[in-house]
Amino acid sequence: MALVPCPQCGKRISDKAQTCQHCEHVLVDDPEKLSTQRRIHRIKKSSSLITHSFLALILFIGGLAYSSWYAESGMGHDKIASQVVALVGLVWYVVTRIRIMMFKREKQV
């Protein structure tokens, strides 16, 4: 039994192993296992993108709320900082939504 590197994560695993114990990459050519692994990978990526979108939206709304209700009138440092946070949240949200649309389009192709 020799130790070989995993093709996906590069960590050392047994040459007799059917899956990598670190990243769960399927090493055998079983079509059912490969399709299951692809499905799990798509679910994880989709979940990650949705979480990023949610966090970006919270950042955007929080920055706007602080800027509107709690920041000093005029252009104080806290108002500018809250507007920058809102802008970063908005850009992050838009980029993430584009990534989600591209991810969904990948499946259709």
Per residue in 14-26, pLDDT (tens digit) is: 878 878 888 887 7
Per residue in 38-79, pLDDT (tens digit) is: 788 889 999 999 999 999 999 999 999 998 888 777 778 888
Q: Note the pTM of the prediction, 2 decimals.
A: 0.68
Picking from 43, 92, 35, 85, the residue whose alpha carbon sits closest to that of residue 62 is: 85
C-alpha to C-alpha distance for 98 and 85, rounded to whole angstroms: 20
C-alpha to C-alpha distance for 87 and 76, rounded to whole angstroms: 17
- The SS3 of residue 14 is strand
- Does the pLDDT at position 30 exceed 70? no
Q: Which residue has the tokens 């108002």?
A: 79
C-alpha to C-alpha distance for 78 and 42, rounded to whole angstroms: 40
Domain coordinates in residue numbering, the chain:
43-109
Which helix (H) or strand (E) segment holds residue 4: the answer is strand 3-5
